[in-house]
Every structure is written in structure tokens, then in C-alpha cells.
Structure 1
Amino acid sequence: MSSPFITIPRGFSYVAAATVSTSYLLFWQSKRVVRARRAAKIEYPQLYAEKSECETNEHAKKFNCVQRAHQNTLENMPMVLVNTLIMGLKFPVAAASICGLWTLTRVMYTLGYSTGDPQKRFAYGGTGALYTQVGLILGSTWAVVEFIYAGL
């Protein structure tokens, strides 16, 4: 008879720390969006500056880039968190390390994108963020396969 309880593996506290780091990332990005919005004078609830605003306002394109970096992080966050938690049940240190690296690459991605040159998002971390996400997907898949073979 199996136990109705979930056993949390040793080292899972690292997974918790890595997932909490994503909250700090989002908070930092939000603050950058607010500052860029003020500089560009883009009023709420307008999500992005219009093309005409970008042509006449030097801060508008930078605002769009900062906003897009934040939005892209939000779009990827569910996948990163779910895969980190699943992988972390079997491989906690690896999952935490990859998630922490993802957070770091997203900081670099945001800094590059915030220059106003969208191509710099790749040079400053966009590619690394993609590779870490693939690592989390593969790691969580491996963990699920092991759970299935173990009869869990």
C-alpha cells in the first residue's frame, strides 16, 4: 500500500529558492517598465507605444522593448515554474541550478532588450534563456519517465 503523502527530496529547498528568484526578477522588471513608461509618457492602460509615438518620442521604443521583455518573461514563467517543480522532485539540485541560471539569463535578456535595440536581447541572454528552458523541459520529462517506471 502506498503512502498518501508526497515525499519532498533532500535539497528541495534549493528548488524553492530558485523559484522565489523568479519573483524578484518579475518585480525588478516591473519597476523598469514603470520607469520607462514615465520617461516615454505613455499613459495607462496603453500597453505599448504606437508606431507614431516611437517616431516622435525617443523613449517610446525603449519603453516598448522594456515592456516586451517583461511580457515575454511572463509568457514563459508558467512553463519554467512547472518544469522546475517537476524536475525538482527527482533532481532538486539540477532543477534549482537550471532555474537559477534561467533567472540570470532573463536579467541579461532584459538589460539587452532595454537598450532599445531588440537584437541585443539575444546577445545579452536570450539564447541562454532558451537553452535553460529546454534543459528544464528535458529534465522534467526524464523525472516523469522515472516516476512512471517506479509506479508512482
Structure 2
Amino acid sequence: MDSFPYPFAVLATALALFVYVWTGAVVGKARKAHGVNYPDTSGPDAFNRIWRAHQNTLEQLPLFLPSLWLFALIVSDLWAGALGLVWSIGRVIYVKGYARAAEKRETGFVIATLATAVLLFGALGTTIWQMLGR
């Protein structure tokens, strides 16, 4: 593994991207179920919730992915991978909950947000701690 030092971050990144692709497939299925044609982005509430879950996942990726990689580089690849897995599980719970009702998205949101926060603040905190220790 010396020539490939960040396998867990790579796997977590790939999983997060697969989760995003999956949310797109969920939107496609919802389009057919609710008769929402392309390029429309709104329809019945049941469709709108699924579409928003997909968009919200896209909106989270620019914060999550750099946080994941900063953590992997600065703190631990293994723990970055584990937290990346937690993020992906949280996003799946979020999408499934949001598809049922807007109020049911909270658990998945909290799980994914906490994973991102640990990644971001863990990398930032470690960097500051190391800078102050010099």
C-alpha cells in the first residue's frame, strides 16, 4: 500500500459519488411515477421532495469531498474512509426519509452533517494544533 497511501479516502469518495448517482436514478424513477417530463423540475410534492433531496446531495458534495480529503491527508486515511461511509449512509437515510415526508429527512441530515463537521474541524483543528506546537 506504500505506493497508494489513501485507499480508504478513495473508496469513500467513490461511494459518495455512487450515492449521488443513485439519487439521480431515484429522481428518474420519480419522474415516471409522477408524470414529470424533462426538463421540468417541479411537480407534485412527492416528486419535489425527491428532486430536492437529489439537489441537496449535490450541494453537500463541495463541502464534504474537500473535508474528506483534508482529513485523510492531515489526520487519518482510515478514519476519513470511515467517516465518509457514515456520510454516505446518512445521505441515503436523508433521501429515503425526504421521499416519505419533509419532516423525516432530519436523521439523515444530522448524520451526514456531523460526519462532514468532524472531517472539516478535525483537519482544521489538527493543522492549527500542529502550527501552534512549533
Decide: shared fold, TM above 0.5.
yes
Bigger Rg, structure 1 or 2: 1
Question: Which stretch of the first structure deviates more once superposed, 88-97 or 106-115?
Answer: 88-97
Aligned to 1:112: 97
Q: Deviations over 1:120-145 (max 9, x none)?
A: 0114x121112112111111213433
Structure 1 segments, 4+ long, off by >6 Å, are none
| Counterpart in the other structure of 2:125 | 142
State the Cα distance separating 1:93 from its structure 2 match.
1.3
Query: Which of 78, 82, 85 is the matching residue for 2:66?
Result: 82
SS in 1 for 2:102: coil
Deviation at 1:46, TM superposition (A): 1.4
Q: Which amino acid aligns with 2:102?
A: P
Aligned match of 1:70 in 22, 45, 54? 54
CA RMSD of aligned residues (A): 2.2
Any stretches of 5+ residues in structure 1 without a counterpart?
A: 1-6, 50-59
* Amino acid in the other structure paired with 1:135: V
Identity across matched positions, percent: 27
Identify the residue that residue 25 of structure 2 maps to in structure 1.
Answer: 31
State the secondary structure of the residue aligned to 1:73: helix
Equivalent in 42, 53, 66 of residue 48 of structure 1 = 42
Structure with the higher fraction of residues in helix conformation: 2
2:79 to 94, 112, 130: 94
Which stretches in structure 2 are left out of the alignment for 5+ residues?
none
**Distance change in 2, residues 1:134/1:8 (3 Å):** farther
